[in-house]
Structure 1
Amino acid sequence: MDLLRQRRRHPGLSEISARPAHQEAASVGLHQAPGEELLRGPPQHHPRTDREFLRAEHLHRPLPVPRIIRYCGTGITSMPNVSRVILDSLWAEGASAFFMVPGKQINAYMSNYRDGEHADHPRISPVISAAEGGAAMMADGYARASERFGVVIALDGPGVANTVGGISTACADRSPVVLLSGHVPTGFDAHDALQDVTPTGLDTASVLRPLTSTSLQVRSAAHPIRYFDITLRKLVEQPTRPVYLSYAADVLFSETSDAPVRMTTLSASRLTCDPVDLGRVIDTVNASSSVAVLVGAQANKKAVRRVLTRLSEDHDILVGSTLDAKGAFTESHPNSVGVFGYSGNERAHELFLRNGPETVLLIGCRPSQWNTNGWAGVSGAENVIEVTSEVKDIGRFSPGSQTLLCDELTFLEHWEASMTEGGFPGNAALRERVGQVRLHDDIPDGGDALNPAHAVKCLNSWLKDRICVADSGNHRSFATHYWTTDIDAGFYSTTNMGMMGWAFGAAVGISFARDEPCLVITGDGCTLMQGMEIQTAVRYRRNIIFAIFDNSSYGATHMNNIKNIPELSALPGHDWVKFAESMGATGFRVTSISELDTVAQKIKDSDGVHVLHLVVDRDAPTPAGSYRTNLRAFEASRTGAR
């Protein structure tokens, strides 16, 4: 298992405990504590050789001895305090970094990173964001990309309040984010203390309860790690959701001999299924002349993607993805039909709605408005079978379908083992038939203005090896439709809450989890909300390109306010190049497709943070025509409106 620590030798060093493989890949630039020379800036972008040196210098150290400064300042103790136990446990569970903004009541966490005592630092590394909201979105991005969980640490009260938008987004998309905090010391409650968040004050635990699977405040040092254990256990419950755990400041500094529970990994299969039901479904599928698969976010795990790709190639199976699972099956693969759902691809809609196989398998599909393309369901197949590990979703994506409650990986492995050569004789003809349908909508001529669709296709042609992180707005519609993923799990977006600016923080978190270059497709409205996290990307030397689609408006709202006064949706012009340069990034202003082609070619192989200010046509129609038609029909069926 990748979380089991293995022994290895490093030239010039004694035998040490190596970090898990996923952390090895995600660790470049992590182990510089705030205040070290590396982070003083604005830093210059350094070459990969420097990053490799940092990897050798900082990652191959012996596991530090947990020596912690007491809260009262009486010196060093041999017993760890609560904050250190938590940080070491998070590392052991697979988190290589946490995201935070400093604050007094969380000093216990920060005191583990003493200047001049780097050998004693926890292995998990702090990343300081511009704002707590950005830190929460970084933790969300990290959770999605690592397929484990992400961690944000914030001062309770104003800091935690700033995370609510990010936590609500993570909740809506079932992303397991750990929100840790510190609050007023014991004895300060019921005294009108500054930033009192206990039940005698703001009571943030109650505020966060609807957004989390557990929301706890700890005011006693009697058994503080038990609360952390409860929090960890909740992370593996279905559906996965954020968790919140806040300690009184003095409790965080208190010594403890308790050891936390070990949850190992969130990626392991946890739900087995009834063998009779499993056999029945597999028999139905294998008796079909043709079959196609629609994969959803519940199944978007590395092991599932690997098996699904193998099945598709061995048995000529067409595969589409729901909107929230775009990239779960690499879209440059010849058996991909693209996205089914909001702003999806016509080929996928043809396969799953009109001209389908004998059997459609829905694997881990979540029944949201966008995923179902406006509640269109799936039709055109004799058998529609939903397989999911989530009880909440079963039977809801396509009402009337057959259902199987089963871990998605378990199902695919049993299905693969049951297959014989020569199965699904109709698949080849199905592929040929569906292949005649266009994948992308035609792009209308918009005159001299830069059409966002052309911009996305141009970026895709030069930057296809990057992870695409799409923000909320009209630009997301164009990115969903016209961006073709060329790498495994190459696309991330928030698809239920629609938090504007999410992609700025999420891309930073994703880059720490995977250490791969990213491209953010965002808008000017999103940049106004969360664009300051560009400075975090620069500070930590991330390899991210931010493409700001500037239509001088809140684009989606503009489309709905055509007949209203412009001030309701229009935005003033901004110079995003100067904005980027003020934070140490390089910036380029682009007004035409030829300029974009030149700039994208120039920066495609360069590291560092780049900002593209794309001046685009605000009136370009989004490729979501079928969704709008379905949504109007659904509304009419519920309200009688025409």
Structure 2
Amino acid sequence: MALGTDFLLDAVVAEGLDHLFMVPGGLVDPFMPALARQPRLTPIVAAHEGGAAYMADGYARASGRFGAVLGIGGPGLANMATAAAAAKTDSSPLLLLSGEIPVAMEGLGEFQDASQFTLDDTALMRPVTRLSLTVASAKNLGHALRHGLAEALSQPRGPVHLSLARDVLEGDCDADYAPVLPAFAAAPLDRAAAERAVPLLAAAPRLAVLAGAGVADGAAAAALQAFAERFAIPVATTLRAKGVFPEDHKLSLGVFGYAGTRHATAALLSDEIDVLLVLGSGLNERDTMHWTLRQRSKALFVHVNTAQAELATVAGADHVVAGHASAFLERLSRLSEMEAAAFARSQADREAWIAGIMAGPRLYDTENCHRPGKPIHPASAIVALRAALPRDAIVLVDSGAHRAFAGHYWTAYGPGTYISATNLGPMGWAIPAAIGVQCARPDRRVAVITGDGCMQMHGMEVQTAARYGRPVIYLVLNNGALGNVWLRARQYGALPAELTSVVDHDWAGFARALGAHGITVTDPADLPKAMEEAVAAGTTVVIDVKADKDCPTPVYDFAAGAHAWSYHE
């Protein structure tokens, strides 16, 4: 027998979590003494409930488990809604716990009542979660939690919400908790469809792979690399999956789609490609070069994905395999002698094809990577940060023009080293999410590439990183504008340009005021020294780079695809 609060905290510890992200408040007061009774769980208090939920999202993406966030219902939960939506669109598993008033007081006008009599928190969260439940009694807390986590961890993963009445937190729960996560770590696969797909791949002389987020775990990425190396198969990734295949590998095509490389574009849209194996990607607008891949590619698609709704939407008449990319790659690691011989027969042809593509330039505008003069080009700052960090460092990239520059010029060497909220893409997400990543991976250096507009939204969470001694490096590309929005708006006249401009704040001074270390860089010649200082500091650091806003983003192939595209069913 345990209080509801103790049961919940013990349960998340049993699932392997060691951090809980939260904002205290009256509706969750019973958790305060309960946290003191659970020494294996470290609470991290955020500045804002949205920031706490973003931290939990970062923790989930970096740990491979789920992230947990706690706050009051009503205004606190409403502040988490955008974070839940971002997690849902990126299939990131979160457990959102919100406190509610006692059941007997619902509808009587009690302060912050957000029960079904008033705002109805569960209805608020239902569209942006996999499941949103009201738990009114400690007697059903055990199976409500298990049901919620089963939904969060089923494929495709996503956020779930439990609204917890005061009765639940202070009531006795006699359930025996058994962890859910091991049961949902399996990788499902339509075996019959997989068997039909293997001969299609083996018979293709010019075969390439497009790897998506479904290959993001270490085992799947290792299996992909082994398969590619065995038969000289080139690999491109989506922007969200950047790094699942080492970008300095001789078979790496880099990113295809938004901010992608010339090599990936040339290979996947080649008239010579026979088959494209798409692993764990839903093929959205940015991952398909504004759907150009589906329109122009001459390849037969073999599409492996856990989300059958996405398969039905994008797969067309080509071969689909419902299932997890890691399970399909495991099948490719067990080829028969006849199957392996079929793959090997076309290897020389494939190597010659790829050699021709690799002979051309990989990136656009590489002169900007070391451009002299003021203000600083964003590419120069990104390249300098990459040079200063170890190979296995984890970078989080926010939403804005800096996403395009980072996607193009940052080199990622391993799965889980490049993290971004790519589908919904809320501004400022990376600033708190990095704290969750650093909590999940204290053995890694963690950095953020963000902008001044993003800092205005969630920059206050720098104080959370500093307060808890998290050595996160924040690279702020401070260009005095809302990046991509300004690049578009300025074409419409002076007022649109003014509306999308930002005051040049002293973000280094802001960081120092919050207890972090602040560095200002105005000259590109000083970038290497600033990056080295940040890495050596061993504490939270904000690098305020006075950047040039008038810089075209390296999305030329994507822009051309968007310009040429017209809607049709």
Partner residue, 2:346: 424
Partner residue, 2:204: 288
| Distance in 1 separating the partners of 2:135 and 2:312 | 40
CA drift of 1:274 comes to 3.4
Kindly provide the amino acid, as one letter, of the partner of residue 460 in structure 1. R
Instruction: Establish whether residue 542 from structure 1 lines up as the match of residue 470 from structure 2.
Output: yes
Offset from partner CA, 1:434-462 (integer Å, 9 cap, x none): 21122210146775321111221222122
| Distance in 2 separating the partners of 1:631 and 1:451 | 25
Kindly provide the amino acid, as one letter, of the partner of residue 582 in structure 1. A
Which of 38, 43, 50 lines up with 1:126 in the alignment? 43
Instruction: Establish whether residue 476 from structure 1 lines up as the match of residue 403 from structure 2.
Output: yes
Partner residue, 1:489: 416
Summarize the Cα distance change of 1:281–1:638 in structure 2 as closer, same or farther, 3 Å threshold: closer
CA drift of 1:318 comes to 1.2
Summarize the Cα distance change of 1:570–1:587 in structure 2 as closer, same or farther, 3 Å threshold: same
Which of 181, 201, 226 lines up with 1:310 in the alignment? 226
Partner residue, 1:389: 306
Partner residue, 1:345: 261
Which of 442, 445, 453 lines up with 1:517 in the alignment? 445
Summarize the Cα distance change of 1:637–1:206 in structure 2 as closer, same or farther, 3 Å threshold: closer
> Which structure 2 residues correspond to residues 355-366 of structure 1 after superposition, within 5 A?
356-366=272-282
CA drift of 1:543 comes to 1.8
CA contact (8 A) 1:269 1:407 kept: no
CA contact (8 A) 1:300 1:328 kept: yes
Summarize the Cα distance change of 1:348–1:395 in structure 2 as closer, same or farther, 3 Å threshold: farther
CA drift of 1:299 comes to 2.7
CA contact (8 A) 1:358 1:382 kept: yes
CA contact (8 A) 1:293 1:318 kept: yes
Partner residue, 1:112: 34
Summarize the Cα distance change of 1:356–1:297 in structure 2 as closer, same or farther, 3 Å threshold: farther
Offset from partner CA, 1:295-334 (integer Å, 9 cap, x none): 0112322211111111122222211111121112121222
| Distance in 2 separating the partners of 1:267 and 1:477 | 35
SS at match of 1:192: coil
Offset from partner CA, 1:345-378 (integer Å, 9 cap, x none): 1111111112554321101111211111111125
CA drift of 1:395 comes to 5.0
Partner residue, 1:451: 377
SS at match of 1:187: helix
Instruction: Establish whether residue 160 from structure 1 lines up as the match of residue 77 from structure 2.
Output: yes
CA contact (8 A) 2:517 2:542 kept: yes
Which of 548, 553, 556 lines up with 1:622 in the alignment? 553
CA drift of 1:108 comes to 2.1
Instruction: Establish whether residue 203 from structure 1 lines up as the match of residue 137 from structure 2.
Output: no
CA contact (8 A) 1:83 1:253 kept: yes
Same amino acid, percent of matched pairs:
33
CA contact (8 A) 2:214 2:324 kept: no
TM-score by length of 1: 0.83
CA drift of 1:582 comes to 0.8
Kindly provide the amino acid, as one letter, of the partner of residue 532 in structure 1. M
CA drift of 1:632 comes to 2.5
CA contact (8 A) 2:107 2:117 kept: yes
Offset from partner CA, 1:462-504 (integer Å, 9 cap, x none): 2253211000000111000100013442100111112000001
CA drift of 1:194 comes to 0.7
SS at match of 2:115: coil
| Distance in 2 separating the partners of 1:203 and 1:135 | 22
CA contact (8 A) 2:244 2:414 kept: no
SS at match of 1:417: coil
CA drift of 1:559 comes to 1.2
| Distance in 1 separating the partners of 2:299 and 2:395 | 36
SS at match of 1:113: helix
SS at match of 1:394: helix
Partner residue, 1:439: 362
CA drift of 1:409 comes to 1.4
CA drift of 1:396 comes to 4.1
Offset from partner CA, 1:146-202 (integer Å, 9 cap, x none): 122111101111111111121111111111111011110121112011111111111
CA drift of 1:214 comes to 1.1
| Distance in 1 separating the partners of 2:568 and 2:203 | 38
Structure 1 outlier segments of 4+, above 6 Å: none
CA contact (8 A) 1:365 1:397 kept: no
Which of 80, 92, 98 lines up with 1:181 in the alignment? 98
CA contact (8 A) 2:478 2:545 kept: yes
Summarize the Cα distance change of 1:487–1:176 in structure 2 as closer, same or farther, 3 Å threshold: same
> Which structure 2 residues correspond to residues 547-566 of structure 1 after superposition, within 5 A?
547-562=475-490, 563-565=493-495, 566=497
Partner residue, 1:602: 533
Summarize the Cα distance change of 1:356–1:477 in structure 2 as closer, same or farther, 3 Å threshold: farther
Which of 69, 89, 100 lines up with 2:22 in the alignment? 100
TM-score by length of 2: 0.93
SS at match of 2:139: coil
SS at match of 1:371: helix
> Which structure 2 residues correspond to residues 14-29 of structure 1 after superposition, within 5 A?
none
| Distance in 2 separating the partners of 1:460 and 1:266 | 38
Q: Where does the alignment leave 5 or more consecutive residues of structure 1 unmatched? A: 1-78, 115-119
Summarize the Cα distance change of 1:279–1:224 in structure 2 as closer, same or farther, 3 Å threshold: closer
Kindly provide the amino acid, as one letter, of the partner of residue 519 in structure 1. A
| Distance in 2 separating the partners of 1:121 and 1:501 | 31
SS at match of 2:79: helix
Q: Across the two proteins, how many residue pairs are aligned to each other?
A: 554
| Distance in 2 separating the partners of 1:607 and 1:392 | 45
Judging by fraction of residues, say which structure has more helix.
2
Partner residue, 2:516: 585
Offset from partner CA, 1:90-118 (integer Å, 9 cap, x none): 1111212110011111122221133xxxx
| Distance in 2 separating the partners of 1:263 and 1:82 | 18
Kindly provide the amino acid, as one letter, of the partner of residue 377 in structure 2. N
Partner residue, 1:377: 293
| Distance in 2 separating the partners of 1:470 and 1:382 | 32
Kindly provide the amino acid, as one letter, of the partner of residue 508 in structure 1. I
Between 488-497 and 437-446, the greater mean CA deviation after superposition: 437-446
Instruction: Establish whether residue 146 from structure 1 lines up as the match of residue 67 from structure 2.
Output: no
